[in-house]
Amino acid sequence: MANVKDNAASQETRRKLIDAAGQVFAERGLHAATLQEITDRAGVNKAAVNYHFRDKFELYAAVVRYCVSFRVEPSPEEMTGPPRDCLRALIAHIIREILDPTKPAWRAAIINHELAQPTAALDAVMDELIAPRSRLQLDIVRRILGPRASEEKVVRTTLSIIAQCLVYLHDRRIMVRLHPILAQDDQKSDEIARHIADFSLAALRPPPRRRPSPKPKRRS
């Protein structure tokens, strides 16, 4: 017998709940939000929450999972080529996800809530979604820097690259107010990804060797 939760109507109800919950959690936070608000906004009854998520906290966990998951994961082929090409491909995936116009506006607020006050919902997806992606990012940077790079340098370099991507998620409104020219960035994901990759890879090039200073001639 087919799982009733997998049918189209049931999946649509689940989608409505996650979207409505994301809006309410973003506006009010986890603890202040109520299931009544969420179900009213979703246009479903409270029984639907119990059916799909059991309670408010499991629903919140599903919202967090949605916020941190890639819609399309990088393919193995993209991640096994030359490391510089892998970095370009990974940055492109991250920027497309961040600027995806189909993603809800409340996503950044949920992630910001979790960064400010982490909950068990973040712990639940850390090992499954966040840690593997972090290891992939570190591995690519490690391959670019080479075996002589310290682990601290690998980590700091990786964070610097990812931070360039995340600024488009967390500081979008401020950026547009300060720099109106960025208002149409949602339509330029490939251009932004290329810029971040070019900028990062230029910084990862080894510095040119300095020529030794000529020795001063002795006076006779």
- pLDDT at position 27 is 93
**Tens-digit pLDDT profile for residues 192-216:** 999 999 999 999 987 556 666 666 6
Percent of the chain residues topping a pLDDT of 90: 53
Tokens of 72: 């399309």
**Tens-digit pLDDT profile for residues 128-155:** 888 999 999 999 999 999 999 999 999 9
**Bigger pLDDT: 179 or 2?**
179
CB 107 within 8 A of CB 22: yes
* Cβ atoms < 10 Å from Cβ of 56: 17
Of 177, 27, 165, 163, nearest to 100 by C-alpha is 165
Predicted confidence band at 1 (pLDDT cuts at 50, 70, 90)? Answer: very low
Domains of the chain (ranges plus CATH)?
A: 8-67 (1.10.10.60), 70-204 (1.10.357)
Percent of the chain residues topping a pLDDT of 70: 89
